[in-house]
């Protein structure tokens, strides 16, 4: 049986930390579905489609990585994909509290759903999308934290203002 996992998140923008998790997951699972959450409540830097496009570009050569988007309850989306495993990254104890709540709630909503965690690589554990957003908004260079296609996209977005 194919072992698939869904890696959901905002990915606004995709960072080198996310990439590290996706690469590691693709050597553990047969298929990694990176799925961008559509959340109109969160103020975003990139549109959902820009995020999907950038992730697709980064993983164009990795056949195990699929990119998608979803709206609404994650457990419903997982069911529609016939996947019972959710992947999340864990950086700090702050992540732990939120992630534990989410994982428990999702399992209560659908007992078939299991959430697995990958601990952030120490090289990337300081990176977050919100940090990148702050750097970009303040005119800084995020090159060190994001892949090239994302950096290019961010520059375009900045030019448009």
Largest CA distance in the chain: 48
Site for ligand ADP in 115-144 (CB under 6 A): 120, 124-125, 127-129
Cβ proximity to ligand ADP: between 117 and 161 the closer is 117
Q: Angle at Cα 84 formed by Cα 57 and Cα 61, nearest 5°?
A: 20
Q: Is 126 a catalytic residue?
A: no
Alpha-carbon dihedral sign for residues 90, 12, 108, 93: positive
Catalytic residue among 2, 42, 82, 160: 42
Q: How many CA atoms lie within 13 A of 105 on its CB side?
A: 9
Among 95, 103, 131, 149, binds ligand ADP (CB under 6 A): 95
Asked whether position 29 contacts ligand ADP by CB under 6 A, the answer is no
Asked whether position 68 contacts ligand ADP by CB under 6 A, the answer is no
**CA nearest 151: which of 130, 136, 131?**
136
Asked whether position 18 contacts ligand ADP by CB under 6 A, the answer is yes
Asked whether position 17 contacts ligand ADP by CB under 6 A, the answer is yes
Kindly state the tokens that stand for 155.
């520059």
What is the phi-psi region of residue 78: left when phi exceeds 0, alpha when psi lies from -120 to 50, beta otherwise? Answer: alpha
Closest separation between CB of residue 66 and ligand ADP, Å? 16
Binding residues vs ligand ADP (CB under 6 A):
9-11, 15, 17-18, 21, 88-89, 91, 95, 120, 124-125, 127-129
Active-site residue list: 18, 42, 91, 129
């Amino acid at each position: 049986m194919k072992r698939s996992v869904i890696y959901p998140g905002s990915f606004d923008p995709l960072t080198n930390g996310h990439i590290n998790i996706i690469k590691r997951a693709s050597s553990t699972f047969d298929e990694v579905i990176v799925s961008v959450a559509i959340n109109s409540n969160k103020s975003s830097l990139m549109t959902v489609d820009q995020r999907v496009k950038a992730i697709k570009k980064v993983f164009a050569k990795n056949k195990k990585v699929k990119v998608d988007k979803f709206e609404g309850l994650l457990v419903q989306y997982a069911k529609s994909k016939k996947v019972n495993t959710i992947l999340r990254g864990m950086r700090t104890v702050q992540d732990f509290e939120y992630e534990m709540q989410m994982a428990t709630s999702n399992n209560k909503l659908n007992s078939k759903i299991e959430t697995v965690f990958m601990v952030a690589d120490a090289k990337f554990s300081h990176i977050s999308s919100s940090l990148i957003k702050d750097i970009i908004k303040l005119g800084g260079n995020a090159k060190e934290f994001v892949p090239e296609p994302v950096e290019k996209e961010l520059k375009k977005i900045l030019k448009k203002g």
